[in-house]
Amino acid sequence: MTGTRFDVLGVGNAIVDVLARVDDAFVDTHGLAKDAMLLIDEERAEQLYAAMPPGQEISGGSAANSLAGIASLGARGAYIGKVAEDQLGEVFAHDLRAAGVHYDTAPLFGGPATARCLIAVPPDARRAMNTFLGASALINEDDIDPGLVKASSVTFLEGYLFDRPEAKTAFVRAAEIAQANDRRVALTLSDIFCVERHRASFRQLVKNHIDVLFANEAELKSLYELDDFDAALAAVRAETRVAAVTRSEKGAVIVSGDAEARIPAQEVGQVVDTTGAGDLFAAGFLAAYARGMSLDACGRLGVIAASEIISHMGARPQTGLQALAARQGLELPDAEA
Amino acid sequence: MTGTRFDVLGVGNAIVDVLARVDDAFVDTHGLAKDAMLLIDEERAEQLYAAMPPGQEISGGSAANSLAGIASLGARGAYIGKVAEDQLGEVFAHDLRAAGVHYDTAPLFGGPATARCLIAVPPDARRAMNTFLGASALINEDDIDPGLVKASSVTFLEGYLFDRPEAKTAFVRAAEIAQANDRRVALTLSDIFCVERHRASFRQLVKNHIDVLFANEAELKSLYELDDFDAALAAVRAETRVAAVTRSEKGAVIVSGDAEARIPAQEVGQVVDTTGAGDLFAAGFLAAYARGMSLDACGRLGVIAASEIISHMGARPQTGLQALAARQGLELPDAEA
């Protein structure tokens, strides 16, 4: 799109991840859910943290991970999300800015601490996420800078934000500003439980505001309450400009009007930690989409970015994704002036 | 030794590491020193952190890393070190306790923040450490619980503590209590710059209080101001019960009275980050030493532990070291009742 300062603006929960390797007994004993995100309160967060093995702290947050990926791919990104004025908040802000993402949301004073996601990574790499939302949920309409939304080709929203009413209002506000300025709006459904919590709201949002929808197979089926994947795909095709559906080792399916692209998954040496796989697929897809590339190229760049992230602990790239993609023949065209 | 509750008690600077991969230009531009530790003040810490790429936070601190390794080897460890009452202090305490180390030093209220070490890891894995000591340097004599010292076969002190007078006093106090109770005292010289800062004090300490000294080749030569390695080895042999000297890819030399053991280095697939190599050598050595194993076994266990730590980012074990050692035929005997 012409005249934009940013390719993608992300809006999401600003979270620092606490990752630890566990065994399957730990997952069972503590009632964790693999491949999913559970919301937990502060008391539960303290209990679970006390039980967890030694960990490592790495900045996270679904949309923030995507934006770090977008910057690593050489595209221009900005982010809106709320941390507290504390050490983990500083870590989050540092890591995002150091990744090359524009980030200037005012931190929260005198409220809850910066959000933490306690992530248990079992031997099969299918992480169980447990989020204490803290300051991140206190994002509100005032945090949505209309100038940033107008300056961005795509505004990308994470479904997790729907878990708090103020955040949801901020979320819809961002979508409205984008639409009023002829910018695109993208949404990720985030998580099967998140879809179940907010199905009706999501259905309405998708129909009225969303140009590009990200979902995995289970989330898409749950959104439309359809057991048949093709039926769910037909439903979303009728409601959004583009839908990109990830299917783990089966790769991704992208539909847009009558067009369709199927992207195979990539071989990964060893899957170490699946945290961030969906976030980085969205990163690759949106970087290419904002630069006007084909659906096929969008999907392929998504798969390349996702493959890097599952090869190590944490949901932020550890390799320059732009060079990685170039080695596979994918380069972003220049942004239009 | 009979009747001890712990094999090893560590006393050191309680630090959280902030690790980031950098290129060599970053090391040059910011005047960092590979293979070494520079002390920095808060202002410099903020400047350097702002310039650093996205990082990951992993609990560190030289003696604390050793104790985490000792616990991972199946030995019984305790630790004394000072954090602040803040988020990184909680992370430090959690990780050490979750590793199985006894840790109950009271945190500092209303003073500087928990210590941070900004660690730049260049492509050749030779990390450049930059430490803001914060709360860790405010450890004092009152933090040394005589009961813990008496209950431990070996009290292990890190040379870095000499950088603050209060800490140095605490350090000597711990050594005196141990000696008065017929326990052993071990010291690591920590770093070549640390030896240069405190050579006279270290010489006196080694002569009067130290049973087991850890040093690398450069530190040992600097301690005695001797260019010849064999001459330095002869000097330390005359002054301590045991000296264990590491020589990177040349392995380790251990001397004790007339006895000597030479341990070859282990093949490591890829050296990712050398942070903690010395700490984990000491861990393996001391776990075996406290259980009365031979010098050769002490050295071999040290090399096994050090080899694991340099194969990944961060100075805390990511693999159960006890099982790793067992696969190489090394098992700790039971502690004496």
Q: Is A204 on the interface with B (CB under 8 A)?
A: no
Residues paired with residue A73 on neighbouring β-strands, in sequence order:
none
Query: Tokens for B268?
Result: 């490591």
Residue pair B14/B92 in contact (Cβ under 8 Å)? The answer is: yes
The residue with greater pLDDT, B169 or B303, is B303
Residues 42-71 of chain A with CB under 8 A from chain B are 49-50, 52-59, 68
Model pTM score = 0.95
* Residue B182, Ramachandran bin (φ over 0: left; ψ between -120 and 50: alpha; else beta): left
What angle (nearest 5°) sits at the alpha carbon of residue B40, between those of residues B37 and B44?
A: 130
What pLDDT is stored for residue B35 in this prediction?
92
**Among A residues 105-164, those touching chain B with beta carbons less than 8 Å apart:** 113-114
Give the nearest partner residue to A56 out of B86, B87, B314, using CB atoms.
B314
Q: Which of residues 8-27 of A touch B (CB under 8 A)?
A: 18, 20-21
Contacting residues of A for B53, CB less than 8 Å apart = 98-99
- Using DSSP's 3-state secondary structure scheme, residue B77 falls into strand
Residue among A53, A87, A314 minimizing CB distance to B86: A87
Does the CB of B331 have a partner CB in chain A at under 8 Å?
Answer: no
pLDDT of residue B234: 97
User: Which residue in A246, A244, A263 sits closest to A254, CA to CA?
Assistant: A244
CB A6 within 8 A of CB A78: yes
Give B95's contacts in chain A (Cβ within 8 Å): 54-55
CA distance B121 to B26: 10
Question: CB A57 to CB B58 under 8 A?
Answer: yes
Q: Which of B52, B59, B91, B313 to mutate to test the interface with A (most CBs of A within 10 A)?
A: B91
Nearest chain A residue (CA) to B116: A87
Q: Give pLDDT, residue A91.
A: 98
Distance of CA A202 to the CA centre of its chain: 16
- Is B249's pLDDT higher than 90? no
Q: Do B54 and A91 touch (CB under 8 A)?
A: no
Q: Residue A299 in contact with residue A254, Cβ under 8 Å?
A: yes
Chain B residues in contact with A86 by the CB 8 A cut-off are: 86-87
Reply yes or no on whether the pLDDT at B37 is more than 60.
yes
pLDDT at position B29, please?
Answer: 97
Nearest CA in chain A to B52: A98
| Per-residue tokens: B201 | 């004090």
φ/ψ (deg, to 5) at A194: -65, -40
A-B Cβ pairs (cutoff 8 Å, strict): 64
- What homologous superfamily does CATH list for B6-14+61-112+134-327? Ribokinase (3.40.1190.20)
Beta carbons of A52 and B318 less than 8 Å apart = no
Provide the shortest C-alpha distance from residue A57 to chain B (in Å).
5
- Report pLDDT digits (tens) over A67-98: 999 999 999 999 999 999 999 999 999 999 99
Q: Please give the ipTM for the structure prediction.
A: 0.93
pLDDT digits (tens, 9 = 90+) for A268-310: 888 999 999 999 999 999 999 999 999 999 999 999 999 999 9
Per the rule left: phi > 0, alpha: psi between -120 and 50, beta: everything else, B48 is: alpha
Determine how many CB atoms are found less than 10 A away from the CB of residue B157. 29
Asked if B121 and B142 count as a contact pair (C-beta separation under 8 A), the reply is: no
Phi, psi for residue A50 in degrees, rounded to 5: -60, -35
Inter-chain touch B86–A88, beta carbons under 8 Å: no
Query: Is the dihedral angle over the CA atoms A324, A325, A331, A335 positive or is it negative?
Result: negative
Q: How close, in Å, is residue B223 to chain A by CA atoms?
A: 35
Do A91 and B53 count as a contact with CB atoms less than 8 A apart?
no
Here the tokens at position B105 are 């030093």
DSSP for B142-177 reads GG--HHHHHTEEEEEEEGGGGGSHHHHHHHHHHHHH
Residues in chain B: 337
Name the minimum distance, in Å, from the CA of A264 to any CA of chain B: 30
Report, as ranges of residue numbers, the positions in chain A whose pLDDT lies below 50. Answer: none
Partner-chain residue, chosen from B56, B99, B114, that has the shortest CB–CB distance to A56: B56
Structure tokens of A232? 């769910």
Measured between beta carbons, the chain A residues lying within 8 angstroms of B68 are: 54
Whether A316 and chain B come into contact, CB under 8 Å, resolves to: yes
pLDDT score of B275: 94
pLDDT of residue A165: 84
Identify from B94, B312, B318, B321 which residue to disrupt to test chain A contact, counting A C-beta atoms within 10 A and taking the largest count: B94
Q: Which CATH class is domain A6-13+60-112+135-327?
A: alpha beta
Q: Does B314 touch chain A (CB under 8 A)?
A: yes
Contact B91 A57 (CB under 8 A): yes
User: Is beta strand A259-263 parallel, antiparallel or unpaired with respect to A252-256?
Assistant: antiparallel
Show residues of chain B in contact with A314, CB under 8 Å.
56
Using CB atoms, pick whichever of B50, B57, B98 lies closest to residue A53. B98
* Predicted local confidence at residue A137, as pLDDT: 92
pLDDT of B2 above 80: no
Confidence of residue B337 (pLDDT cuts 50, 70, 90): low
Would you place residue B1 in the very low, low, confident or very high pLDDT band (cuts 50, 70, 90)? low
Closest of B80, B101, B232 to residue B170, by C-alpha: B80
Mean pLDDT of the region B158-187? 91
pLDDT tens string A242-276: 999 999 889 999 999 999 999 998 888 889 999 99
Tell me if B88 and A86 make a contact (CB, 8 A cut-off).
no
How does the average pLDDT of chain B come out, rounded?
Answer: 95
With CB atoms and an 8 Å threshold, state whether A91 touches B314: no
Shortest Cα–Cα distance, B307 to chain A (Å): 20
The Cα A60–Cα A96 span in angstroms is 9
The whole-number average pLDDT for the span B68-85 is 98
